[in-house]
Amino acid sequence: LSDKITASLKKVRGQSKITESNIEEVIKEIRLSLLEADVNFKVVKSFVDKVKAKALGAEVLANVNPGQMFVKIVHDELVNVLGGGAVDINVRENPSVIFMVGLQGAGKTTSSAKLALYIRQKLGKKPGLIPADIYRPAAVDQLQTLGRQNNIPTFPTQAGMKPEEILEKAKQWAKDNLVEVVIVDTAGRLQIDDQLMGELGRLREIWTPQEILLVADAMLGQQSVNVAEGFHQRLQLTGLVLTKVDGDARGGAALSIREVTGIPIKFLGVGEKVAALEVFHPDRLAGRILGMGDVLSLVEKAQEVIDEKSAMASAKKMMKNEFTLEDFLTQIQQLKKMGGFETILKFLPGMGDLSKQLKNMTPPDNEIKKIEAIIRSMTFEERHNHKVLNASRRTRIANGSGTQVQDVNKLIKQFEDAKKMMSGMMKMGMGRGGMKFPF
Ligand code: GDP
Ligand code: MG
């Protein structure tokens, strides 16, 4: 999904304005890729329409180019469709009750054990498992084994017990075992039927759950949308656990289910092992779908921090090789706010190596104070032409700024290195269609 989008986004990146024609291709690519990922066609259509409307109406911010702006619009819309922020489960009651429902083979039993571990490790509460799937051969054993292996108290469901009886008896059991969060592994079917829904409805009367989580198989793609709608109509689901996301189907089902039903996706199952459960983060999935490194966070940071005029002025100076120690100080102060050179380069795809080289070029806070003191102790001439800084001037500056001559030497060396590195980057073309950053 991501490769093609990334490729066509690259083409938009160099453009100077978002127009109907220059986003046409990338929009087409996004539409195709989403359909290929088995996203429901209605969802694709509404997504593409929204992105298009926003992109064409968008005001391109001063310090990002239209391509970056467009990436951000696509990303934000993806996050929006996927539900905004991460949603946790409600375990405020004592005990809290969670029903795991879904079709056979979706991953209910496995996810029950995974969720129990998550609740113990991340939420610090004592979980308990209740095997209530009496129809599938060995389902009770399967959960009891998982419980034993991971030290999770598991209700001793006996052969011949009905689900209603299991739940009734489990109430006392939970009390006796000081269980704070009860996870009920319910029976599945091959498809939704009235008998199953009737049973789940009765269980809900016996012990009211705070959470009814639908466990859905991501590999089912569009079909999972119908399953989710069916369960939701009958049971008012509170969330979704999307399993087998480690397989080929990446995100397509998540996008569709969320858009069609509005049910928040809460967890992703990413493997068969009990630890393979992730809290669902819409922004991460959107990022993965777009495969854009973290250009977006960078755009956001830049919007917050960089003073556009001074950035532009510095860039021009860089081009003309007129960058002075004074500019250097301003830039260091701004970069510091953004997290340093290495942070910025980490955000840019393909700039990883450079980021290692630049690792030591962003000084720590106390160093910045020193640099400031040193530069303030220089004359106007010295600040604008560091070449005049001979030994006696350096000694004078060190004394004046309360630092050592070595500090002054080090600063001048850093400045020269930065200047060299930056003009190299300008020549590489970053100053033109690409990033408009202060260097
Ligand atoms: P249930 O019938 O809904 O209880 O499903 P199970 O929990 O028994 O899981 C069915 C199969 O799917 C088992 O082989 C699980 O190991 C497998 N499974 C469950 N969740 C995941 C997952 O997130 N990733 C992968 N790769 N396999 C999973
Ligand atoms: Mg099961």
Three-state SS for the chain is CHHHHHHHHHHHHCCCCCCHHHHHHHHHHHHHHHHHCCCCHHHHHHHHHHHHHHHHHCCCCCCCCHHHHHHHHHHHHHHHHHCCCCCCCCCCCCCEEEEEECCCCCCHHHHHHHHHHHHHHCCCCCEEEEECCCCCCCHHHHHHHHHHHCCCCECCCCCCCCHHHHHHHHHHHHHHCCCCEEEEECCCCCCCCHHHHHHHHHHHHHCCCCEEEEEEEHHHCCHHHHHHHHHHHHHCCCEEEEECCCCCCCCHHHHHHHHHHCCCEEEEECCCCCCCEEECCHHHHHHHHHCCCCHHHHHHHHHHHCCHHHHHHHHHHHHCCCCCHHHHHHHHHHHHHHCHHHHHHHHCCCCHHHHHHHHHHCCCHHHHHHHHHHHHCCCHHHHHCHHHCCHHHHHHHHHHHCCCHHHHHHHHHHHHHHHHHHHHHHHHHHCCCCCCCCC
> Phi and psi for 211 in degrees, rounded to 5?
-130, 130
Calculate mean pLDDT across residues 338-348.
50
Helix axes 194-206, 163-176, angle to 10 degrees: 30
Q: How far is the CA of 144 from the centre of ligand 2 (A)?
A: 11
Q: How far is the CA of 2 from the centre of ligand 1 (A)?
A: 26
Give the pLDDT of residue 429: 45
Instruction: Name which of 25-29, 265-269, 422-426, 433-437 the model is least confident about.
Output: 433-437
CA-wise closest residue to 214 among 193, 232, 201? 232
The bound ligand whose nearest atom lies closest to the alpha carbon of 248 is: 1
Give the pLDDT of residue 205: 96
Q: How far apart are CA 375 and CA 372, in angstroms?
A: 5
Whats the size of the chain, residue-wise? Answer: 439
Of the two residues 299 and 181, the one the predictor is more confident about is: 181
Instruction: Name which of 16-20, 31-35, 59-63 the model is least confident about.
Output: 59-63
Instruction: Name which of 83-92, 110-119, 353-362, 382-391 the model is least confident about.
Output: 353-362
Calculate mean pLDDT across residues 348-360.
48
**Residues framing ligand 1 (Cβ under 6 A):** 102, 104-110, 188, 215, 243-244, 246-247, 269-272, 276
253 appears as a binding residue in the annotation: no
Residue of the CA atom closest to atom 19 of ligand 1:
107
pLDDT in tens, 139-151: 999 999 999 999 9
Q: How confident is the model at residue 16 (pLDDT cuts 50, 70, 90)?
A: low
Structure tokens belonging to residue 65? 């180019």
Calculate mean pLDDT across residues 230-234.
92
Instruction: Name which of 68-72, 249-253, 380-384 the model is least confident about.
Output: 249-253
Q: How confident is the model at residue 8 (pLDDT cuts 50, 70, 90)?
A: low
327 appears as a binding residue in the annotation: no
Cβ proximity of 263 and 228 under 8 Å: yes
Residue of the CA atom closest to atom 2 of ligand 1:
105
Mean pLDDT of the chain: 79
Structure tokens belonging to residue 237? 């689901």
Give the pLDDT of residue 292: 47
Q: pTM to 2 decimals?
A: 0.64
Ion ligand 2: residues, CB < 5 A = 108-109, 139
Q: Which of 108, 110, 143 to mutate to test the pocket of ligand 1 (most atoms within 8 A of CB)?
A: 110
Of the two residues 202 and 285, the one the predictor is more confident about is: 202
Q: How far apart are CA 416 and CA 46, in angstroms?
A: 52
> Which atom of ligand 1 is the closest one to the Cα of 277?
23
C-beta neighbour count of 362 within 10 angstroms: 20
Cβ burial, residue 35 (10 Å; 0-12/13-18/19+)? middle
Calculate mean pLDDT across residues 356-379.
73
Instruction: Supply the Cα-derived Rg of the chain in whole angstroms.
Output: 29
102 appears as a binding residue in the annotation: yes
Q: How far is the CA of 213 from the centre of ligand 2 (A)?
A: 14
Give the pLDDT of residue 399: 92
Instruction: Name which of 34-48, 113-127, 285-299, 410-424 the model is least confident about.
Output: 285-299
Calculate mean pLDDT across residues 115-136.
94
Q: Which of 129, 267, 272 to mutate to test the pocket of ligand 1 (most atoms within 8 A of CB)?
A: 272
CATH architecture of 96-281: 3-Layer(aba) Sandwich (3.40)
Q: 265: alpha, beta or left, given left = phi > 0 and alpha = psi -120 to 50?
A: beta
Percent of the chain having pLDDT more than 70? 71
Of the two residues 29 and 146, the one the predictor is more confident about is: 146
Structure tokens belonging to residue 206? 């016996």
Cβ proximity of 317 and 327 under 8 Å: yes
Q: How far apart are CA 347 and CA 292, in angstroms?
A: 9
CA dihedral 305, 311, 315, 320 (to 10 degrees): -150
Domain with CATH 1.10.260.30 in the chain: 295-430
Please say if the pLDDT value at position 346 is more than 70. Answer: no
Token look-up 């950053």 returns: 437
Of the two residues 157 and 7, the one the predictor is more confident about is: 157
Please say if the pLDDT value at position 106 is more than 60. Answer: yes
pLDDT in tens, 296-307: 444 454 444 445
The bound ligand whose nearest atom lies closest to the alpha carbon of 132 is: 2
Q: How confident is the model at residue 185 (pLDDT cuts 50, 70, 90)?
A: very high
Residue of the CA atom closest to atom 20 of ligand 1:
107
293 appears as a binding residue in the annotation: no
> Phi and psi for 76 in degrees, rounded to 5?
-60, -35
189 appears as a binding residue in the annotation: yes
Q: How confident is the model at residue 109 (pLDDT cuts 50, 70, 90)?
A: very high
> Which atom of ligand 1 is the closest one to the Cα of 269?
23
Token look-up 């089902």 returns: 253
Structure tokens belonging to residue 223? 């079909």
Residue 55 CA: distances (Å) to CA of 51, 154, 173, 319: 6, 53, 57, 31
Of the two residues 147 and 256, the one the predictor is more confident about is: 147
Q: How confident is the model at residue 161 (pLDDT cuts 50, 70, 90)?
A: very high
Of the two residues 184 and 60, the one the predictor is more confident about is: 184
12 appears as a binding residue in the annotation: no
Q: What CATH homologous superfamily does 2-82 map to? A: SRP54, nucleotide-binding domain (1.20.120.140)
Please say if the pLDDT value at position 293 is more than 50. Answer: no
Q: Which of 243, 266, 279 to mutate to test the pocket of ligand 1 (most atoms within 8 A of CB)?
A: 243
Please say if the pLDDT value at position 119 is more than 70. Answer: yes
Q: How confident is the model at residue 194 (pLDDT cuts 50, 70, 90)?
A: confident
Give the pLDDT of residue 97: 98
Give the pLDDT of residue 192: 77
Q: How far apart are CA 80 and CA 91, in angstroms?
A: 25
* Domain over 295-430 is classified CATH 1.20.840.10: no
Q: How many CA atoms lie within 13 A of 245 on its CB side?
A: 26
Q: How confident is the model at residue 427 (pLDDT cuts 50, 70, 90)?
A: low
